Structures are given as structure tokens and as C-alpha cells.
């Protein structure tokens, strides 16, 4: 609920799988995913508007194409830390006043950071939109930082790290797993930062970061709700138009070398009372691969992990009874290569190796025999339905487009998601599975209680 | 003070002709031909349909030795019904992308149904089967039980669960509210399909039920579906509800030792019940103390000024048989004593001096101004409509709420603060390794 939620990279996938569908476009028989209207301001800021007239409210978001994976070496956590510091005031708005102004206007505000983006948002009655734009534009280039404010906030972020990560062995394990997953690429470094680096961040680090990356040509404005797109474009021009475009560093992260060895990470912690297992395979995403492969993997993920009737749960939990829980998730929209992850918790009397073997059997079955037409049909039907359900959430729609654009996805790929999913074939799923489920490109994680 | 910059905004306040009560006025109370009542909003712009149902009862009506039974019932009622076994039932839901689930809390048992409107007939049929003829076959009951048992075992080292559970244990000695909703490993293990069958019969009835529906359907058709779904249920439940607790008695300080870097703290004491005439004053007061995110006094003092926590909050918890005010934070073990003293100091200050005119106005602006956000999607509206009925609020409440909040005065706040905010009567539970705490 608080500002500074760290968004793990799977969030957007979840949102995409539950995205909405608008009425059919005239020339195509497939529905589109919402019906966004877009423009680009002269200073390079992209604008996306999604109209929804059910309630007189609006979601206003600004996404910066900058996240933890863009941080300089040794400064982990600076992207997320700066997100906190964006509330510390400008010449016009004093420290702490930003949220107060939003609240006194009946709005709610917050912000979040992932490996690939930093985003700020407010939800309010639609008549407050000009005000929200005014104060959000004001802090795009007008932030003022001093040591006192930065110092107190660093303590807050360290407490956040304790709360989210250090207090929780599963979260610590996930950090270790990511670090093992990427040999060179910065996705191996946690968004909140390693504690030893986080502790040393300074006001100067924050200012450097801000001055380098916070500019309209590095930002995407998303407005969703009871608005008219043309009016929003006019307001955007008025409030965000005066912000100055800047020269931006090229967005390029360290490249992952060939992965030649399966890695096995074993962590023991006395707080662990039930062992758990996971395995992540390096996987392509919308920007790094052709879209057919990515959509095929999304359908495969639904077949494997689509609830109680998915292959993993029905095989491991219902039929074989070797696990009490099992599933998978696939992050299809990271800026760089992501992962396809399997997980399971053994049933009483079984060990992690049994769970791993059972999951491998499910994977091998896909590799050898593919998936059936019936499974594909059912999975597509559920995915199309979840797209309709997603239309119930105004802020969800805004998240989908902001997240996709900030991660280098083309808006057409989002809009035509239903069509692309509908076209996926059994052959494509088999090909995609062979491309991803390669043992030497994977990491196994075992989280266990301390040895007695 | 910096707000003057933005005052002109009011002049262009009608981008789209904002009508705050538009949704509120759309709620109808319908009665089906067979006499089932429901609150209903017709909303046809998306081809979906949501229903929320609450039955009074829940975990607090279950004897201590069967703790967790309501939760187990909620987790198994969708695991097969009538001639559909668990797999067939779940397959049917999955094929039609229908989401159907049940839940249990201390005071309630609830059901939730979401479907594409084209599948509404089948969705209501499956809901009807689940509440009237659940099977509770050995296989799914055993499977779900083992999942719950693993979860319960995990919770034994999770600070957030331990500290909350401990708070209710010390606050409600000998009362049903002391018993955790999901039970304990010892109480869940022996639960049987027979227990489930018996409790289902006692819990799921018509006279303790409230229903809300929103979506792509018209009132006549809904009436017919409501009859098909609910008419077969028994008229009355057979439950023994717990006694009212007039007040919880502090001070109590209890530490659950746990080797973690950050202690997790829950604090609280007497709050207010939903029907209390001072409820709105308490609601506004809580917003100012710790309910208002970044604007609250607790966040200003403990997070913003001192950086001791990532999050500190308070909220009103109006249960059926007790009114509570609860709050919490996490802070490094070394700072626990300081943070608790700061909370107490804030309670003391607000109790002695009340709040300022500026704070009161700001709170009213937020609480009234943000209300439309709570009515911004079908699922939110369905949930609000069913809660309003649970608390016996009239349909007109949504329109009257701004007046009720605006009517709160500084004196009301002072009176309520005196009644509720006693720093010397706080019940505090801590999971962690806090240092420097004198008992």
C-alpha cells in the first residue's frame, strides 16, 4: 500500500494475461486489448490515454524508462532510492507536501520501481487531473535534495529492505537465485540494492542519477479513466510540454555470456519450516525475441500452470501426491532476457529431489510429445476471458501500457495481444519449449531448514 | 501552505461533469419472486457479472477444539458437488473461466462468483451446487487439508502471523476471537468430511445472508437465478454466536522471541463498533492518527522525521462483537522501544489536545474526495454493497456519507480521542529480538 513497492518483473506478465478486450476493430475479426489513443509531445514525452467512462475517476501515471538494471556498478538501489526521494520537494512544493496536496484533493498517490522502470501515479476524481499533471511535471526536473532529507530517507529504505527481504528467508533465497541466474547481466542484482551498497548511497549519487535520467524524452505519460483523449493531449502539452528534453545515455546493459552449466543453489535457514524448490530457465521476452515465440510460451505457461486443472498441479498434487503445491510463471515482457520458472512444495514424506524429478517429467513430456489441441483451445479461451475481466480495472489498464512501453515493447504488440494469442499453434509451442527448457541455462534453488 | 499555487484548479473543476453520487443512485434493492433480497447495479458496458454473498457466522461460532473448520469449509466447498467430483467441478469452472470461491473470517463466511455474462446460467448453477450439495470427498478434503497444514507450519516462523495471532490471544482471553481463523496444526489435523458437512448445514442459510450483484444482467433474470441458487437453503442458521466484549483490557506487552533483524509490532486497544454514533468521529480521528498514509501523524513522526520504519499505520476494526483500533510497524530490534514510546506520545498528545482545525478539514477533504475511488470498478462496488448490508447501512448511505463525515466537530474528536486513545492501556505484541524494553 505504501509508496515504493518494488515490482518484481513478473507483475506485468500477470497483468498482460489479465488484460481487457474492446469491441472488434472493423478490419479484423480479433478484438484488441483496450483501445489506447497515443501522441508524442514535441519534447519526446509519449502520451497514452485509455478512456473508461464508468466512474468519474482517473489514474495518472508517469513512467521513466529507467530501473535498477540501469544502475552503475556499486550503486545498487539508487533507482529505487531516488523514487523515494522524488517526494522530497521542489521550489514550488515543500518536502512532504506532494502527497498532502494529492490527499487534500481526494487522491491517493504512490510509486514503484522495477529492474526496468520507475513509475509514479495518482488516482483521483477526474476533475483533479490538471493539478496532478502540474505537480508531477514540476518534480520531473525541479527536485531539490539536501543531506538531511536524504539521510533520513536512506534509513527508511534500509528498514524497507529489512521488512521485505532480510526478515524473510524466501525473499533472501530469491535474491541468491537471481544472482546465480545471471552471470553478467544486472538482473542478478536486487532492485532494492545489496545492503552494503545501499548503506553508502549519497545525496550526490541521487542527484547524478536524477539529472541523468529524469527528462520528458525518457518518460511516458499514461492517463486512464473518465477522460477524453484530445483534452488529455492538450493538458499534457500545457503541463509537460515546457519540460526540456535532454541527451540520454544509450540504454544498454551488460550482455549475458553463454550459460554452460546448470547451477544449484542450496540455502538453509533456521526460519524455514517447510522446504521449497524452484527452477528458472533463461527465457526470451517481447523485445528480445520474435513475438510468436513469446506468445507461444505464454500459452504454454497457461497449459502448465493454469490453476487446478494445469498440468503441474494435476500431475504433482492431485495424481502423484508428491507435492502440496506446484506451478510455473513466465515473465514475457522484461527489457532483456527473463526467466520461465517452475516451483513446488513437497508433500509430507517427499523430498525436493522427488519434486524436481516430477517437474522434469512434465517438461520432458512437453519436449517429446508437445501439447494437445484441446489444451491449447482451453488455454486460449481462459486467456481471452481474463482479458475481458481485466477491463474492470482502470488502473490495471494504465499499468499494462506504461509497463510495456517503459520496457521497450511496441504498443501494437500489446493492443493485438488477443489476436497473437489466438494464432499460437502446437508447433510453435513445441519449438519455443525446446528453445527455453535447456538445463545448462537454468538455476535450481532449494530452500531448506537448518540441519539438526 | 504551498497549496495556494493550485487553488485556481477549482475553476476548471468540470472536465467531464463530475457527479459524485452517480453510482450510488444506481443501486436497487431487488426481491426475487421467491423472496431472496439482493442489492443490484445493472452495468452493461463490460460483458461480465459479479456476485458477493456474506453469511454471518464464521470462525467465531466454532468451538475451540475445531478451530480452522470454517476456513477448511471455505477451501473445500468448491471441490466437487452433486454428481461432479472435484476434478469435474474444477474443470467446468476452468473451461468457462468462471471464478468461484469461498472465504471465512472471524465473523463471516463469504462466497464470491465472477463470470462472463454469456455463462451466467452455468455459473449460478455451479454456485448453487457448491452451497447446496458439496461432496467433501476424502481425496480433495485430504489434499486441501495437507496444504493448509503446510501453511500453518510455515506461519509458525512468520513474524507477521505470529504477532497478530498473539495480539488476539492476549486481548481476548477465553473468547472466540482469541482463536485463529485458520486454526492450528493440532485442531485442523483431526477435522473430517463429517465435520464439514455438519458445519455447512449450520452456517449456510437464508436469514443470515446478504447478497450483492453487479454487471451485465437485468433485474428479472437475476431474480430467477437468485431463486434457483438460494431458495433450497434452510431458512435459519444453527450457530452460537460469541458474547459481546465491552472492552479489551491493557496494558499488556508480549514478546514472541524470533531471531530476525527487524521486529514486527502490533499495537491496539479499544476501538468502536460500526453502529456506534461516534463511529464517524473515530473514523476521522484514525485517519489523522495513522490511517492517512503519508499525511498521518504516526508516519510524520516515526517515518518521515526519524526514518525508524518503512511503514506505520493504524485502522479501525469494527467486529460484530467488539470494536478495536489496531496499528503496526516494523523497526530494527534496537529501535523498538523508541518507536513504541513515539506511538504512545502521539496517543497522549491527541488525547490531551485533540486535533487542529486544519487537520480536521484536510481529513474531511480526503475522506469525502477519495470516496469515488472506492466505487471505481464492478468488483469494488460489489464488495461495498455487501459490506453495507452486513453492517445494516441503508442504500442511501452512499449519498449521506459526506454529510456524516462533514458533521464531525473538533469536540467530537476530542471526546472520542479521550475514550479510545489511552496510551497506558495499549496491548502490544512484538515478534523479534527487541532490545531495551522494560516490561
- Residue B20: the pLDDT is 40
Q: What is the pTM of this model?
A: 0.93
Average pLDDT value for chain B: 93
- Residue B5: the pLDDT is 29
pLDDT in 10s for each residue of chain A, 452 residues: 334 444 433 333 333 333 333 434 444 578 888 999 999 999 999 999 999 999 999 999 999 999 999 999 999 999 999 999 999 999 999 999 999 999 999 999 999 999 999 999 999 999 999 999 999 999 999 999 999 999 999 999 999 999 999 999 999 999 999 999 999 999 999 999 999 999 999 999 999 999 999 999 999 999 999 999 999 999 999 999 999 999 999 999 999 999 999 999 999 999 999 999 999 999 999 999 999 999 999 999 999 999 778 999 999 999 999 999 999 999 999 999 999 999 999 999 999 999 999 999 999 999 999 999 999 999 999 999 999 999 999 999 999 999 999 999 999 999 999 999 999 999 999 999 999 999 999 999 999 999 87
> Would you give the distance in Å from CA A211 to the centre of its chain?
24
Across the interface, of B22, B116, B153, the residue whose CB is closest to A388 is: B116
- Residue A4: the pLDDT is 41
Show me where the domains of chain B are located.
27-230, 252-432
> Would you give the distance in Å from CA A121 to the centre of its chain?
15
Best mutation target among A125, A395, A397 (most B Cβ atoms within 10 Å) is A125
pLDDT over 90 (residue B299): yes
% of chain B surpassing 90 pLDDT: 92
A160 to chain B: closest CA residue: B310
For domain B252-432, the CATH class is alpha beta
pLDDT over 50 (residue B9): no
CATH 3.30.830.10 for domain A263-448, yes or no, is yes
- Residue B261: the pLDDT is 96
pLDDT over 90 (residue B11): no
Across the interface, of A92, A103, A394, the residue whose CB is closest to B366 is: A103
In CATH, the number for domain B27-230 is 3.30.830.10
Taking CB atoms and an 8 Å limit, are A105 and B293 in contact across chains?
no
Across the interface, of B12, B143, B149, the residue whose CB is closest to A130 is: B12
Best mutation target among B42, B46, B295, B338 (most A Cβ atoms within 10 Å) is B46
CATH 2.60.120.40 for domain A5-240, yes or no, is no
- Residue A30: the pLDDT is 80
Taking CB atoms and an 8 Å limit, are B369 and A226 in contact across chains?
no
> Among the options A83, A175, A356, A409, which is catalytic?
A83
According to CATH, where is 3.30.830.10 located in chain A? 5-240, 263-448
**CA distance to partner chain A, nearest, from residue B217 (Å):** 16
CA separation for the pair A330, A301 (Å, rounded): 7
Q: What's the ipTM?
A: 0.92
* pLDDT bucket at B25, cuts 50 / 70 / 90: low
Q: Is A351 in a helix, a strand, or coil?
A: coil
Residue owning grid cell 448453477: B125
A83 is annotated as an active-site residue: yes
pLDDT over 50 (residue B7): no
- Residue A158: the pLDDT is 98
Amino acid at each position: 500500500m505504501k509508496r515504493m513497492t518494488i515490482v518484481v518483473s513478473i507483475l506485468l506478465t500477470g497483468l498482460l494475461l489479465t488484460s481487457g478486450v474492446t469491441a472488434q476493430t472493423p478490419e479484423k475479426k480479433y478484438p484488441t486489448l483496450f483501445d489506447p489513443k497515443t501522441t508524442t509531445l514535441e519534447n519526446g514525452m509519449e502520451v497514452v490515454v485509455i478512456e473508461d467512462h464508468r466512474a468519474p475517476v482517473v489514474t495518472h501515471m508517469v513512467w521513466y524508462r529507467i530501473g535498477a538494471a540501469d544502475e552503475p556498478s556499486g550503486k545498487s538501489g539508487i533507482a529505487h532510492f531516488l523514487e523515494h526521494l522524488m517526494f522530497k520537494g521542489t521550489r514550488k512544493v515543500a518536502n512532504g507536501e506532494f502527497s498532502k496536496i494529492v490527499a487534500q484533493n481526494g487522491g491517493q498517490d504512490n510509486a514503484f520501481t522495477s529492474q526496468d522502470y520507475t513509475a509514479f501515479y495518482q488516482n483521483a476524481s477526474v476533475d483533479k487531473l490538471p493539478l496532478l499533471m502540474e505537480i508531477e511535471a514540476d518534480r520531473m526536473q525541479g527536485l531539490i535534495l539536501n543531506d538531511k532529507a536524504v539521510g533520513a530517507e536512506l534509513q527508511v529504505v534500509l528498514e524497507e529492505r529489512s521488512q521485505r527481504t532480510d526478515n524473510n528467508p524466501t525473499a533472501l533465497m530469491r535474491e541468491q537465485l537471481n544472482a546465480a541466474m545471471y552471470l553478467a547481466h544486472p538482473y542478478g542484482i536486487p532492485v532494492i540494492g545489496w545492503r552494503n551498497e545501499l548503506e553508502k548511497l549519497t545525496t550526490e549519487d541521487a542527484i547524478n542519477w536524477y539529472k541523468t535520467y529524469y527528462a520528458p524524452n525518457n518518460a511516458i505519460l499514461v492517463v486512464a479513466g473518465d477522460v477524453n483523449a484530445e483534452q488529455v493531449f492538450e493538458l499534457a502539452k500545457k503541463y509537460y510540454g515546457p519540460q526540456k528534453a535532454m541527451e540520454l545515455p544509450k540504454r544498454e546493459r551488460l550482455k549475458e555470456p553463454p550459460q554452460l552449466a546448470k547451477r544449484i543453489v542450496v540455502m538453509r535457514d533456521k526460519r524455514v519450516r517447510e522446504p521449497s524448490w524452484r527452477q528458472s530457465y533463461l527465457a526470451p521476452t517481447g523485445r528480445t525475441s520474435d513475438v510468436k515465440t513469446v506468445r507461444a510460451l505464454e500459452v504454454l505457461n497457461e497449459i502448465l500452470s493454469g490453476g487446478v486443472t494445469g498440468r503441474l498441479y494435476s500431475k504433482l498434487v492431485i495424481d502423484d501426491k508428491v507435492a502440496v503445491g506446484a506451478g510455473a510463471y513466465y515473465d514475457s515482457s522484461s527489457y532483456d532476457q527473463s526467466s520461465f520458472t517452475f516451483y513446488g512444495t513437497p508433500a509430507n514424506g517427499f523430498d525436493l529431489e522427488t519434486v524436481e524429478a516430477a517437474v522434469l517429467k512434465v517438461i520432458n513430456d512437453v519436449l517429446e510429445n508437445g501439447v494437445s489441441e484441446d489444451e491449447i483451445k482451453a488455454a486460449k479461451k481462459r486467456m481471452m476471458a481474463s482479458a475481458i475481466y481485466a477491463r474492470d480495472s482502470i488502473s490495471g489498464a494504465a499499468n499494462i501500457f506504461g509497463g510495456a512501453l517503459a520496457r521497450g515493447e511496441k504498443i501494437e504488440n500489446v493492443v493485438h495481444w488477443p489476436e497473437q494469442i489466438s494464432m499460437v499453434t502446437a508447433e510453435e509451442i513445441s519449438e519455443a519449449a525446446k528453445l527455453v527448457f535447456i538445463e545448462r541455462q537454468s538455476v535450481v534453488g532449494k530452500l531448506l531448514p537448518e540441519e539438526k | 501552505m504551498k497549496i495556494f499555487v493550485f487553488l485556481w484548479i477549482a475553476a476548471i473543476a468540470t472536465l467531464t461533469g463530475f457527479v459524485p453520487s452517480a453510482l450510488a443512485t444506481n443501486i436497487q434493492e431487488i426481491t426475487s419472486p421467491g423472496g431472496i433480497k439482493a442489492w443490484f447495479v445493472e452495468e452493461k458496458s463490460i460483458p461480465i457479472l459479479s456476485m458477493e454473498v456474506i453469511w454471518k457466522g464464521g470462525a467465531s461460532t466454532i468451538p475451540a477444539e475445531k478451530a480452522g473448520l470454517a476456513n477448511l469449509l471455505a477451501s473445500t466447498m468448491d471441490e466437487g458437488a452433486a454428481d461432479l467430483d472435484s476434478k469435474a467441478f474444477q474443470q467446468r469452472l476452468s473451461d468457462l473461466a468462471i471464478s468461484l470461491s469461498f472465504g471465512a473470517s472471524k465473523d463471516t463466511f463469504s462466497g464470491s462468483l465472477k463470470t462472463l455474462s454469456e455463462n451466467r446460467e452455468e455459473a449460478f448453477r455451479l454456485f448453487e451446487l457448491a452451497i447446496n450439495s458439496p461432496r467433501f470427498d476424502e481425496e480433495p478434503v485430504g489434499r486441501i487439508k495437507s496444504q493448509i497444514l503446510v501453511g500453518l507450519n510455515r506461519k509458525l516462523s512468520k513474524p507477521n502471523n505470529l504477532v497478530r495471532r498473539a495480539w488476539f490471544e492476549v486481548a481476548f482471553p477465553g473468547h472466540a476471537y482469541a482463536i485463529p481463523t485458520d486454526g492450528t496444526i493440532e485442531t485442523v489435523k483431526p477435522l473430517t468430511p463429517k465435520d464439514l458437512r455438519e458445519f455447512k448445514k449450520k452456517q449456510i442459510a437464508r436469514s443470515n445472508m446478504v447478497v450483492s450483484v453487479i454487471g451485465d444482467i437485468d433485474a428479472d433474470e437475476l431474480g430467477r437465478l437468485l431463486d434457483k441458487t438460494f431458495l433450497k437453503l434452510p431458512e435459519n442458521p444453527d450457530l452460537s454466536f460469541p458474547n459481546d466484549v465491552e472492552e479489551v483490557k491493557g496494558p499488556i506487552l508480549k514478546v514472541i522471541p524470533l531471531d530476525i533483524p527487524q521486529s514486527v509490532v502490533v499495537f491496539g486497544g479499544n476501538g468502536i463498533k460500526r453502529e456506534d454514533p461516534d463511529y464517524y468521529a473515530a473514523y476521522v480521528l484514525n485517519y489523522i492518527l495513522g490511517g492517512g498514509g503519508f499525511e498521518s501523524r504516526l508516519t510524520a513522526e516515526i517515518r518521515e522525521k526519524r526514518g525508524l520504519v518503512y511503514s506505520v499505520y493504524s485502522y479501525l476494526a469494527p467486529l460484530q462483537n467488539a470494536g478495536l483500533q489496531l496499528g503496526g510497524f516494523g523497526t530494527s530490534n534496537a529501535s523498538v522501544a523508541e518507536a513504541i514510546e513515539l506511538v504512545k506520545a502521539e496517543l497522549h498528545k491527541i488525547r490531551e489536545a485533540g486535533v487542529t482545525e486544519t487537520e480536521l478539514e484536510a481529513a474531511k477533504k480526503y475522506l469525502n474526495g477519495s470516496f469515488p475511488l472506492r466505487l471505481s470498478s464492478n468488483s469494488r462496488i460489489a464488495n461495498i454493497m455487501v459490506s453495507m448490508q452486513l453492517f445494516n447501512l441503508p442504500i442511501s448511505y452512499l449519498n449521506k456519507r459526506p454529510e456524516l463525515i462533514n458533521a464531525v466537530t473538533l469536540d467530537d474528536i476530542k471526546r472520542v480521542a479521550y475514550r479510545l486513545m489511552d496510551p497506558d492501556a495499549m496491548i502490544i505484541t512484538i515478534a523479534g529480538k527487541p532490545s531495551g524494553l522494560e516490561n
